[in-house]
Amino acid sequence: MTAVFVSHPSDKLDHYFGARATEALHALADVRFNPEPRELSTAELVDAARGCEYLIAYRQTAGPETLFRDWPELRAFIRCAMDIRTVDVAAASAHGVLVTRASAGFVPAVAEWIVAMMVNLGRDLVRHVETAHRQEPQIQSMGRQLHGSTLGVIGLGRIGRHLAALAGALGMRVLASDPHAAKGEASANLVPLAVLLAESDFVVCLAPASAETENLMDAAAFAAMKQGAFFVNAARGELVDDDALLAALDAGHLGGAALDVGRAPDQMPTPALARHPRVLATPHMGGLTRPATEHQAMETVGQLAALLKGEPPPGAVNAADARRWRKEFPA
C-alpha cells in the first residue's frame, strides 16, 4: 500500500489537518506522522519519512533542493496550504517531484476577522473590556461606526472581493486599489493607491507578497493616510515597513492598527508592534476556523486520491515535470 508522511507538528495536527481528513487519508494509504511537537529539519524529515512516496506538508515545511535530492522515493510534495514560497519548485522539477498547493478555504474567515478588527479599532472595545476586567472605573468614549465610513482595500483578490461585499452591506463606502483588477470586478470603486490612502478611514492591506510589493506600506504611504485613520494587515508581513508603522503610531498620525501577520516567525506580528498600545495583534489566526482548515486538508487528501488514480490534481504547479510520479502511471 502507498505510504504517505504528514509533516504537521503533533500539536498542530488537529488544528491544521483534523480528524476528518486524517480518517480519509487512512483509507487511501499507510500514514506516518511527525511525532514531534515542532517542525522537523530537512534531514530529520528525510530520515523519518524513509519508505514513504508522498509528503503532505505542513504550511511551514520547507522544500529545499536537498529534500528532493535526499528523498529518492518522494513522488509528490503536497502542500496543505496555498503558500509555496518556501518550496524550491525548480529543484523539485529537476528531481522529477510533483508540487501541489491547496486552494483558499479561508476567505470568509479572514474577511470576518477584518470586520471584527475594524469594529474593535473604531469603538476601542478591547480597552474598555480590559478596564472592566481590572475593576477600574469605566469611562465612555466616542466611537467611529463602520456605516458611513470609507474602507480602502489594497488588493482585490478573493478575500478583498469578499470583504468589499461585506463592507458594502454594512453601509461603508468601498475604495479599492489593484493594478490587476478590472472595473466592475467587485463592489468597490477602483482608484489609484494615493486616492485610497488619502480618503479611507480604514485601510486594509490584502496585496500579494512579491518583490514589487515589499514595504508597500512605508513611511510615505502612512503619511498619506488620513489623520486618525486605521490600518489593518491580514496579508503578509513583508508588505509593511514595521519601523514606519511604529513611527506613524507613536506620532499619533494613525488612530491604531490591527495585525494578524508580521515579520516574526510563522508570519506573526513582531513583538515591538504587538505590544504597542494602539495595536491589536493576533497570532496569524485570521483564517484559523474549522471550516477553513478542513477545506484545505480535505482538498489535500483529494489531491492524493487523484494522484493514486494516475490523474494530475487541481493545484499541481509542475505536472509536466513529475517524472517520479508518472513512472507509476506510464501513458
Which of 8, 162, 276, 284 is an active site residue?
284
Among residues 56, 45, 99, 97, which one has the least CA distance to residue 80? 56
Cell numbers 482595500 correspond to what residue? 153
First to last CA, the chain: 22
Phi, psi of 176 (to 5 degrees): -140, 145
Q: For 8-14, which contacts have Cβ atoms below 8 Å and span 24 or more sequence positions?
A: 8/33, 8/34, 8/56, 8/58, 8/80, 9/34, 9/36, 9/37, 9/38, 9/39, 9/58, 10/34, 10/35, 10/36, 10/37, 11/37, 12/58
Let me know: does 146 contact 170? Beta carbons within 8 Å: yes
Cβ neighbours of residue 182 closer than 8 Å, sequence gap 6 or more: none
At position 31, the amino acid (one-letter code) is: V
Cβ neighbours of residue 79 closer than 8 Å, sequence gap 6 or more: 57, 59, 61, 87, 99, 100, 101, 102, 300
| Rounded Cα distance, 240 and 232, in Å | 11
| Rounded Cα distance, 197 and 223, in Å | 9
Let me know: does 225 contact 200? Beta carbons within 8 Å: yes
147 is catalytic: no
Helix or strand (DSSP H, E) at 324:
helix 323-326
Give the CA distances from residue 287 to residues 26, 134, 148, 204, in Å, rounded to whole numbers and listed in that order.
26, 30, 27, 16
> Which of the residues are catalytic?
284
